[in-house]
Structure 1
Amino acid sequence: MKRVLIVFGTRPEAIKMAPLVKEFKKYEDIFDTKVCVTAQHREMLDQVLDFFEITPDYDLNLMKPGQNLFTLTADVISSMKPVLDDFIPDYVLVHGDTTTSSAAALASFYFGAKVCHIEAGLRTNNRLSPFPEEMNRQITGRLADIHFAPTEQSKLNLLKENVDPDFIFVTGNTVIDALLYAKDKVEEINDEQIEFLKSIVDPTKDLILVTGHRRENFGEGFINICNAIKQIALEQDVQIFYPVHLNPNVQKPVNNVLKDIENVKLISPLNYPAFVWLMKKSKLIITDSGGVQEEAPSLGKPVLVMRNTTERPEALNAGTVILVGTDTAEIIHHTKKLLMNKDLYNQMSTAHNPYGNGETSREVFEILLKLSSN
Structure 2
Amino acid sequence: MTYRVMMVFGTRPEAIKMAPLARTLRQTEGIELYICVTGQHREMLQQVLDAFELSIDQNLQLMTEGQSLNGLTQQMLSALDQVYAERQPEVVLVHGDTTTSFVAALAAFHRHIPVAHVEAGLRTNDIQSPWPEEANRHLTAVIAELHFPPTRAARDNLLREWVPLEHMEVTGNTVIDALLWMRQHLEEVNWQPPADSPLAALPAEGRMVLITGHRRENFGKGFEHICQAIAELADKYPDVQFVYPVHLNPQVQQPVYSLLGSHPNVRLIPPQDYPSFVWLMARSYLILTDSGGIQEEAPSLGKPVLVMRKTTERPSAVAAGTVMLVGTVVRRIVEETSRLLDDAEAYAAMTHISNPYGDGHASERITHRLLDWLHERKHGEGQ
TM-score bracket for the superposition, by shorter chain length = over 0.9
Is there any run of 5+ residues in structure 1 with no aligned partner, and where? Answer: none
Letter matched to residue 256 of structure 2 = V
Distance (Å, rounded) in 1 between the aligned partners of 2:356 and 2:104: 29
Distance (Å, rounded) in 2 between the aligned partners of 1:322 and 1:81: 41
Aligned identity (percent) is 51
- In the other structure, the counterpart of 1:296 is 298
Letter matched to residue 262 of structure 2 = D
The question of 1:273 aligning with 2:275 is answered yes
Distance (Å, rounded) in 1 between the aligned partners of 2:112 and 2:172: 28
Letter matched to residue 203 of structure 1 = A
Q: 1:214 to 1:194 in 2, by over 3 A?
A: farther
- In the other structure, the counterpart of 1:52 is 52
- In the other structure, the counterpart of 2:18 is 17
Distance (Å, rounded) in 2 between the aligned partners of 1:194 and 1:357: 34
Aligned ranges 1:221-370 → 2 under 5 Å: 221-236=222-237, 237-370=239-372
Partner-residue secondary structure (3-state), 1:202: coil
Aligned ranges 1:205-220 → 2 under 5 Å: 205-220=206-221
Aligned ranges 1:186-201 → 2 under 5 Å: 186-187=186-187, 188=189, 196-201=197-202
Runs of 4+ in 1 over 4 A off after TM superposition: 189-195
Q: Residue 8 of structure 2 contacts residue 94 of structure 2 at CA under 8 Å; is this kept in 1?
A: yes
Distance (Å, rounded) in 2 between the aligned partners of 1:228 and 1:317: 25
Letter matched to residue 283 of structure 1 = Y
Distance (Å, rounded) in 2 between the aligned partners of 1:92 and 1:191: 38
- In the other structure, the counterpart of 2:3 is 2
Distance (Å, rounded) in 1 between the aligned partners of 2:343 and 2:193: 36
Query: Pairwise CA RMSD of aligned residues?
Result: 1.5
Q: Residue 93 of structure 1 contacts residue 117 of structure 1 at CA under 8 Å; is this kept in 2?
A: yes
Which region of structure 1 is more displaced relative to structure 2, 196-205 or 289-298?
Answer: 196-205
Q: Residue 119 of structure 2 contacts residue 173 of structure 2 at CA under 8 Å; is this kept in 1?
A: yes
Letter matched to residue 288 of structure 2 = I
Letter matched to residue 175 of structure 1 = V
Which region of structure 1 is more displaced relative to structure 2, 12-21 or 36-45?
Answer: 36-45
Letter matched to residue 285 of structure 1 = I
Q: 1:301 to 1:76 in 2, by over 3 A?
A: same
The superposition leaves residues 262-306 of structure 1 with CA deviations (integer Å, 9 ceiling, x where unpaired) of 111011111111111111100000000001111111111000000
Distance (Å, rounded) in 2 between the aligned partners of 1:293 and 1:46: 23
How far 1:55 moved relative to its partner?
1.4
How far 1:67 moved relative to its partner?
1.6
What TM-score, normalized by structure 2, do the two folds share?
0.94
Q: 1:364 to 1:296 in 2, by over 3 A?
A: same
The superposition leaves residues 128-173 of structure 1 with CA deviations (integer Å, 9 ceiling, x where unpaired) of 1111111010110100000000011101111111111111111010
How far 1:194 moved relative to its partner?
7.7
Q: Residue 194 of structure 1 contacts residue 274 of structure 1 at CA under 8 Å; is this kept in 2?
A: no
Partner-residue secondary structure (3-state), 1:186: helix
Number of paired residues?
373
Letter matched to residue 211 of structure 2 = V
How far 1:71 moved relative to its partner?
1.4
The superposition leaves residues 74-113 of structure 1 with CA deviations (integer Å, 9 ceiling, x where unpaired) of 1111111222122211111000011110000011111111
- In the other structure, the counterpart of 2:379 is none
Distance (Å, rounded) in 2 between the aligned partners of 1:46 and 1:344: 39
Is there any run of 5+ residues in structure 2 with no aligned partner, and where? Answer: 377-383
The question of 1:79 aligning with 2:79 is answered yes
Distance (Å, rounded) in 1 between the aligned partners of 2:147 and 2:371: 14
The superposition leaves residues 14-43 of structure 1 with CA deviations (integer Å, 9 ceiling, x where unpaired) of 00000110000002x311111111111111
Q: Residue 58 of structure 1 contacts residue 83 of structure 1 at CA under 8 Å; is this kept in 2?
A: no
The superposition leaves residues 182-208 of structure 1 with CA deviations (integer Å, 9 ceiling, x where unpaired) of 113235277866862442211332000
Q: Residue 231 of structure 1 contacts residue 332 of structure 1 at CA under 8 Å; is this kept in 2?
A: yes
